[in-house]
Copies of this chain bind each other. A is one copy, B any other.
Amino acid sequence: MTIKDIAKACGVSVSTVSRVLNNRPDVSEPVRRKVLDMVEVNGYIPNDSARDLVRSRSDALGVVVRGSGNLFFSAVLKTVAREIDRAGYTMVLRYIGEDDDEVKTGASLEREKKLRGLLFLGGRFDYTPAELAPIGVPYVCCSYTNCFGSLAEEDYCSVSIDDQLTAYRAVERLVELGHRRIAMLAPSLDDRSISELRYKGACAALRDHGIEPDPELIEVTGGCFDMPDTYEGMCRILNRGADFTAVFAFSDTTAIAAMKALEEHGRRVPEDCSVIAIDGIAVSEYVNPTLTTMVQPTEEMGREGVRILLDSIEKGLRGCHVVLPTRLRPGGSVRPVSKKD
Protein backbone atom coordinates (compact mmCIF):
# COMPACT_ATOMS: atom_id res chain seq x y z
CA MET A 1 0.00 0.00 0.00
CA THR A 2 1.87 3.01 -1.30
CA ILE A 3 0.99 6.44 -2.47
CA LYS A 4 0.81 5.08 -5.98
CA ASP A 5 -2.02 2.75 -5.08
CA ILE A 6 -3.98 5.60 -3.63
CA ALA A 7 -3.31 7.69 -6.71
CA LYS A 8 -4.45 4.92 -9.01
CA ALA A 9 -7.55 4.24 -6.95
CA CYS A 10 -8.50 7.90 -7.13
CA GLY A 11 -7.57 8.35 -10.75
CA VAL A 12 -5.18 11.14 -9.94
CA SER A 13 -1.45 11.53 -9.98
CA VAL A 14 0.98 10.71 -7.25
CA SER A 15 1.86 14.34 -6.82
CA THR A 16 -1.74 15.23 -6.15
CA VAL A 17 -2.05 12.65 -3.42
CA SER A 18 1.15 13.93 -1.90
CA ARG A 19 -0.22 17.44 -2.01
CA VAL A 20 -3.37 16.38 -0.23
CA LEU A 21 -1.43 14.51 2.43
CA ASN A 22 0.74 17.49 3.16
CA ASN A 23 -2.22 19.77 2.90
CA ARG A 24 -0.87 22.05 0.30
CA PRO A 25 -3.33 24.65 -0.99
CA ASP A 26 -3.46 23.97 -4.72
CA VAL A 27 -5.83 21.05 -4.93
CA SER A 28 -9.57 21.23 -5.49
CA GLU A 29 -11.98 20.34 -2.76
CA PRO A 30 -13.63 17.33 -4.46
CA VAL A 31 -10.29 15.76 -5.25
CA ARG A 32 -9.03 16.39 -1.75
CA ARG A 33 -12.02 14.69 -0.26
CA LYS A 34 -11.76 11.73 -2.54
CA VAL A 35 -8.12 11.19 -1.73
CA LEU A 36 -8.72 11.54 1.97
CA ASP A 37 -11.52 9.00 1.73
CA MET A 38 -9.33 6.51 -0.05
CA VAL A 39 -6.61 6.97 2.49
CA GLU A 40 -9.12 6.38 5.22
CA VAL A 41 -10.72 3.22 3.87
CA ASN A 42 -7.44 1.65 2.82
CA GLY A 43 -5.75 2.54 6.07
CA TYR A 44 -2.84 3.93 4.16
CA ILE A 45 0.10 5.12 6.22
CA PRO A 46 2.86 7.02 4.43
CA ASN A 47 6.31 5.53 4.52
CA ASP A 48 8.36 7.60 6.87
CA SER A 49 11.73 6.58 5.53
CA ALA A 50 10.85 7.60 2.02
CA ARG A 51 9.68 10.96 3.19
CA ASP A 52 12.67 11.43 5.44
CA LEU A 53 14.94 10.53 2.59
CA VAL A 54 13.65 13.06 0.15
CA ARG A 55 13.28 15.76 2.75
CA SER A 56 16.56 14.74 4.27
CA ARG A 57 15.12 15.10 7.72
CA SER A 58 12.91 13.09 10.01
CA ASP A 59 10.28 13.84 12.60
CA ALA A 60 12.35 12.41 15.40
CA LEU A 61 13.60 14.19 18.47
CA GLY A 62 16.48 12.76 20.44
CA VAL A 63 16.43 12.67 24.20
CA VAL A 64 19.67 11.95 26.00
CA VAL A 65 19.26 11.15 29.68
CA ARG A 66 22.21 11.20 31.97
CA GLY A 67 22.49 10.36 35.62
CA SER A 68 19.49 8.13 35.49
CA GLY A 69 19.91 7.39 39.16
CA ASN A 70 17.81 10.37 39.98
CA LEU A 71 14.12 9.62 40.11
CA PHE A 72 13.35 13.22 39.33
CA PHE A 73 14.48 12.72 35.76
CA SER A 74 12.26 9.73 35.30
CA ALA A 75 9.36 11.97 36.17
CA VAL A 76 10.41 14.72 33.77
CA LEU A 77 10.98 12.16 31.08
CA LYS A 78 7.36 11.12 31.20
CA THR A 79 6.06 14.57 30.54
CA VAL A 80 8.69 15.06 27.86
CA ALA A 81 7.52 11.90 26.16
CA ARG A 82 3.92 13.01 26.31
CA GLU A 83 4.64 16.44 24.89
CA ILE A 84 6.73 15.09 22.04
CA ASP A 85 3.95 12.71 21.23
CA ARG A 86 1.34 15.38 21.33
CA ALA A 87 3.30 17.52 18.91
CA GLY A 88 3.39 14.69 16.42
CA TYR A 89 7.07 13.97 16.70
CA THR A 90 8.78 10.74 17.56
CA MET A 91 11.06 10.33 20.52
CA VAL A 92 14.24 8.36 20.37
CA LEU A 93 15.75 7.87 23.77
CA ARG A 94 19.22 7.11 24.95
CA TYR A 95 20.42 6.71 28.50
CA ILE A 96 24.07 7.41 29.11
CA GLY A 97 26.32 6.81 32.06
CA GLU A 98 27.64 9.44 34.39
CA ASP A 99 30.96 9.42 32.60
CA ASP A 100 29.77 9.38 29.03
CA ASP A 101 29.89 12.36 26.76
CA GLU A 102 26.38 13.51 26.12
CA VAL A 103 27.35 15.80 23.28
CA LYS A 104 29.13 13.11 21.35
CA THR A 105 26.25 10.74 21.90
CA GLY A 106 23.82 13.38 20.79
CA ALA A 107 25.80 14.35 17.72
CA SER A 108 26.21 10.84 16.42
CA LEU A 109 22.61 10.04 17.18
CA GLU A 110 21.59 13.10 15.26
CA ARG A 111 23.58 12.24 12.19
CA GLU A 112 22.56 8.63 12.08
CA LYS A 113 18.89 9.21 12.66
CA LYS A 114 18.61 12.60 11.02
CA LEU A 115 17.10 13.99 14.17
CA ARG A 116 15.40 17.36 14.15
CA GLY A 117 16.46 18.31 17.61
CA LEU A 118 18.07 17.15 20.80
CA LEU A 119 17.01 17.42 24.41
CA PHE A 120 19.53 16.82 27.14
CA LEU A 121 18.09 15.71 30.41
CA GLY A 122 20.10 16.03 33.57
CA GLY A 123 23.48 16.44 32.03
CA ARG A 124 26.43 18.33 33.29
CA PHE A 125 26.58 20.24 30.05
CA ASP A 126 29.73 22.12 30.53
CA TYR A 127 30.90 22.30 26.97
CA THR A 128 32.71 24.80 24.84
CA PRO A 129 31.27 26.12 21.57
CA ALA A 130 33.82 24.02 19.72
CA GLU A 131 32.60 20.85 21.35
CA LEU A 132 29.04 21.76 20.57
CA ALA A 133 29.76 22.48 16.91
CA PRO A 134 29.22 18.91 15.66
CA ILE A 135 25.59 19.15 16.68
CA GLY A 136 23.82 20.33 13.60
CA VAL A 137 20.33 20.73 15.04
CA PRO A 138 18.72 22.78 17.77
CA TYR A 139 19.06 21.47 21.29
CA VAL A 140 17.96 22.38 24.77
CA CYS A 141 19.41 21.49 28.12
CA CYS A 142 16.74 20.46 30.51
CA SER A 143 17.34 20.94 34.21
CA TYR A 144 20.65 22.63 33.74
CA THR A 145 21.77 26.01 32.62
CA ASN A 146 25.36 26.84 32.20
CA CYS A 147 26.55 29.40 34.67
CA PHE A 148 30.24 29.03 34.22
CA GLY A 149 30.81 31.19 31.25
CA SER A 150 32.12 28.70 28.75
CA LEU A 151 28.99 29.18 26.70
CA ALA A 152 27.35 32.39 25.62
CA GLU A 153 23.70 32.77 26.42
CA GLU A 154 22.69 32.99 22.81
CA ASP A 155 24.51 29.79 21.92
CA TYR A 156 21.97 27.45 23.38
CA CYS A 157 18.61 27.08 25.07
CA SER A 158 17.80 25.79 28.50
CA VAL A 159 15.12 25.26 31.05
CA SER A 160 16.09 24.87 34.63
CA ILE A 161 15.49 25.95 38.14
CA ASP A 162 17.75 28.41 39.85
CA ASP A 163 19.79 25.78 41.64
CA GLN A 164 21.81 28.24 43.59
CA LEU A 165 18.80 30.15 44.82
CA THR A 166 16.88 26.99 45.61
CA ALA A 167 19.71 25.63 47.73
CA TYR A 168 20.01 29.04 49.34
CA ARG A 169 16.37 28.97 50.33
CA ALA A 170 16.56 25.45 51.66
CA VAL A 171 19.48 26.25 53.92
CA GLU A 172 18.02 29.59 54.85
CA ARG A 173 14.92 27.80 56.01
CA LEU A 174 17.00 25.69 58.37
CA VAL A 175 18.85 28.73 59.64
CA GLU A 176 15.59 30.54 60.26
CA LEU A 177 14.59 27.69 62.50
CA GLY A 178 17.72 28.14 64.52
CA HIS A 179 20.00 25.57 62.93
CA ARG A 180 23.57 26.72 62.68
CA ARG A 181 25.47 23.48 62.35
CA ILE A 182 24.21 22.03 59.09
CA ALA A 183 25.70 18.98 57.47
CA MET A 184 25.76 18.74 53.69
CA LEU A 185 25.79 15.74 51.39
CA ALA A 186 27.04 16.87 48.02
CA PRO A 187 27.57 14.55 45.06
CA SER A 188 30.39 16.84 43.98
CA LEU A 189 31.77 20.27 44.79
CA ASP A 190 33.55 21.80 41.85
CA ASP A 191 32.78 20.05 38.61
CA ARG A 192 30.59 22.75 37.13
CA SER A 193 27.56 20.63 37.75
CA ILE A 194 24.23 21.17 39.38
CA SER A 195 25.86 19.99 42.57
CA GLU A 196 28.36 22.78 42.50
CA LEU A 197 25.62 25.33 42.07
CA ARG A 198 23.66 23.95 44.97
CA TYR A 199 26.74 23.82 47.09
CA LYS A 200 27.50 27.44 46.36
CA GLY A 201 23.97 28.47 47.16
CA ALA A 202 24.05 26.60 50.41
CA CYS A 203 27.34 28.19 51.45
CA ALA A 204 26.07 31.62 50.52
CA ALA A 205 23.05 31.15 52.74
CA LEU A 206 25.26 30.14 55.62
CA ARG A 207 27.63 33.07 55.18
CA ASP A 208 24.81 35.56 54.78
CA HIS A 209 23.75 34.50 58.23
CA GLY A 210 27.17 34.74 59.67
CA ILE A 211 27.97 31.05 59.58
CA GLU A 212 31.17 29.77 58.08
CA PRO A 213 30.75 26.41 56.28
CA ASP A 214 32.54 23.76 58.28
CA PRO A 215 34.47 21.17 56.26
CA GLU A 216 33.83 18.68 58.98
CA LEU A 217 30.14 18.79 58.08
CA ILE A 218 30.55 18.38 54.34
CA GLU A 219 30.79 15.06 52.57
CA VAL A 220 31.28 14.51 48.89
CA THR A 221 29.45 11.40 47.85
CA GLY A 222 30.21 10.99 44.18
CA GLY A 223 28.53 12.39 41.13
CA CYS A 224 25.59 10.08 40.82
CA PHE A 225 23.08 11.26 43.40
CA ASP A 226 22.80 7.66 44.39
CA MET A 227 21.58 6.31 47.66
CA PRO A 228 24.29 3.90 48.79
CA ASP A 229 27.01 6.52 48.34
CA THR A 230 25.02 9.11 50.20
CA TYR A 231 24.28 6.68 52.99
CA GLU A 232 28.01 6.09 53.36
CA GLY A 233 28.68 9.80 53.37
CA MET A 234 26.18 10.39 56.12
CA CYS A 235 27.73 7.57 58.11
CA ARG A 236 31.16 9.14 57.78
CA ILE A 237 29.91 12.40 59.21
CA LEU A 238 28.20 10.60 62.05
CA ASN A 239 31.15 8.36 62.79
CA ARG A 240 33.54 11.21 63.21
CA GLY A 241 31.28 12.54 65.91
CA ALA A 242 30.53 15.77 64.12
CA ASP A 243 28.19 18.16 65.82
CA PHE A 244 25.17 19.16 63.74
CA THR A 245 21.43 19.66 64.07
CA ALA A 246 20.35 19.52 60.46
CA VAL A 247 21.22 18.00 57.10
CA PHE A 248 20.88 19.49 53.66
CA ALA A 249 20.74 16.78 50.98
CA PHE A 250 21.00 17.68 47.33
CA SER A 251 18.11 15.50 46.23
CA ASP A 252 15.12 13.69 47.69
CA THR A 253 16.46 10.20 47.29
CA THR A 254 19.76 11.08 48.85
CA ALA A 255 17.85 12.69 51.73
CA ILE A 256 16.01 9.44 52.25
CA ALA A 257 19.30 7.58 52.32
CA ALA A 258 20.65 10.09 54.80
CA MET A 259 17.64 9.68 57.07
CA LYS A 260 18.26 5.95 57.17
CA ALA A 261 21.84 6.50 58.28
CA LEU A 262 20.68 8.99 60.91
CA GLU A 263 18.06 6.69 62.37
CA GLU A 264 20.47 3.80 62.44
CA HIS A 265 22.85 5.91 64.44
CA GLY A 266 20.14 6.71 66.91
CA ARG A 267 19.42 10.20 65.63
CA ARG A 268 15.70 10.60 65.19
CA VAL A 269 14.36 12.82 62.41
CA PRO A 270 13.24 15.50 63.08
CA GLU A 271 13.57 15.37 66.88
CA ASP A 272 17.35 15.06 66.89
CA CYS A 273 18.11 16.25 63.42
CA SER A 274 16.23 18.04 60.67
CA VAL A 275 16.55 17.06 57.02
CA ILE A 276 15.77 19.18 53.98
CA ALA A 277 16.29 18.44 50.30
CA ILE A 278 15.56 19.47 46.73
CA ASP A 279 13.31 17.67 44.20
CA GLY A 280 9.82 16.92 45.38
CA ILE A 281 9.38 13.46 43.92
CA ALA A 282 6.19 11.65 44.73
CA VAL A 283 7.56 9.11 47.14
CA SER A 284 9.04 11.71 49.45
CA GLU A 285 5.54 12.69 50.52
CA TYR A 286 5.04 9.20 51.84
CA VAL A 287 8.23 8.33 53.62
CA ASN A 288 8.41 8.56 57.39
CA PRO A 289 8.78 11.31 58.29
CA THR A 290 7.59 13.04 55.12
CA LEU A 291 10.37 14.99 53.56
CA THR A 292 10.61 18.75 53.67
CA THR A 293 11.88 19.66 50.27
CA MET A 294 12.14 22.32 47.60
CA VAL A 295 9.82 21.14 44.86
CA GLN A 296 10.94 21.38 41.27
CA PRO A 297 8.09 21.78 38.80
CA THR A 298 8.41 18.47 36.98
CA GLU A 299 5.53 19.02 34.66
CA GLU A 300 6.56 22.50 33.56
CA MET A 301 10.13 21.47 33.08
CA GLY A 302 9.23 18.78 30.59
CA ARG A 303 6.64 20.89 28.87
CA GLU A 304 8.83 23.95 28.55
CA GLY A 305 11.80 21.91 27.42
CA VAL A 306 9.86 20.44 24.55
CA ARG A 307 8.17 23.71 23.71
CA ILE A 308 11.47 25.52 23.44
CA LEU A 309 12.94 22.75 21.36
CA LEU A 310 10.05 22.82 18.94
CA ASP A 311 10.15 26.59 18.70
CA SER A 312 13.84 26.36 17.95
CA ILE A 313 13.16 23.91 15.19
CA GLU A 314 10.08 25.43 13.70
CA LYS A 315 10.49 29.10 14.40
CA GLY A 316 14.20 29.53 14.71
CA LEU A 317 14.12 30.45 18.37
CA ARG A 318 17.61 30.99 19.78
CA GLY A 319 19.20 31.65 23.12
CA CYS A 320 16.06 31.08 25.13
CA HIS A 321 16.49 30.39 28.82
CA VAL A 322 13.59 29.60 31.09
CA VAL A 323 14.10 29.51 34.81
CA LEU A 324 11.31 27.81 36.68
CA PRO A 325 10.36 28.67 40.25
CA THR A 326 10.72 26.19 43.08
CA ARG A 327 8.68 26.16 46.24
CA LEU A 328 9.09 24.82 49.70
CA ARG A 329 6.96 21.81 50.53
CA PRO A 330 6.91 21.53 54.30
CA GLY A 331 7.09 17.99 55.60
CA GLY A 332 7.80 16.30 58.85
CA SER A 333 11.56 16.14 58.53
CA VAL A 334 12.29 19.67 59.67
CA ARG A 335 11.63 21.39 62.97
CA PRO A 336 13.14 24.26 64.94
CA VAL A 337 16.35 23.47 66.70
CA SER A 338 15.61 22.19 70.17
CA LYS A 339 16.46 24.21 73.25
CA LYS A 340 19.12 21.89 74.57
CA ASP A 341 21.36 22.34 71.51
Contact = CB atoms under 8 A, between A and B. Distances in A.
A45 to B, nearest CB: 5
The 9 closest A-B pairs by CB, nearest first: A49-B52, A49-B53, A74-B74, A49-B49, A260-B286, A81-B95, A45-B111, A93-B93, A256-B286
B90 A91 contact: no
**Total identical chains:** 2
A47 interface: yes
A12 interface: no
A231 interface: yes
B94 A283 contact: no
Given A50-B53, A227-B283, A288-B288, A113 B95 contact: no
Contacts of A285: 227
Contacts of A50: 49, 53
Contacts of A118: none
B49 A78 contact: no
B283 A253 contact: yes
A90 B113 contact: yes
A95 B112 contact: no
DSSP majority for the A interface?
helix
A85 interface: yes
A114 interface: yes
27 contacts: A45-B112, A48-B49, A48-B113, A48-B114, A49-B52, A49-B114, A60-B92, A68-B78, A71-B71, A74-B74, A81-B95, A85-B94, A85-B95, A91-B94, A227-B285, A231-B286, A253-B282, A253-B283, A256-B283, A256-B286, A257-B286, A259-B286, A259-B288, A260-B288, A263-B288, A287-B287, A287-B288
A95 B68 contact: no
Interface string A316-336: 000000000000000000000
A249 to B, nearest CB: 12
Residue of A48, A90, A259, A286 ringed by the most chain B CB atoms within 10 A: A286
A188 interface: no
Contacts of A164: none
Contacts of A91: 92-94
Nearest to A57: B49
Contacts of A93: 81, 91-93
A13 interface: no
A271 to B, nearest CB: 13
A58 interface: yes
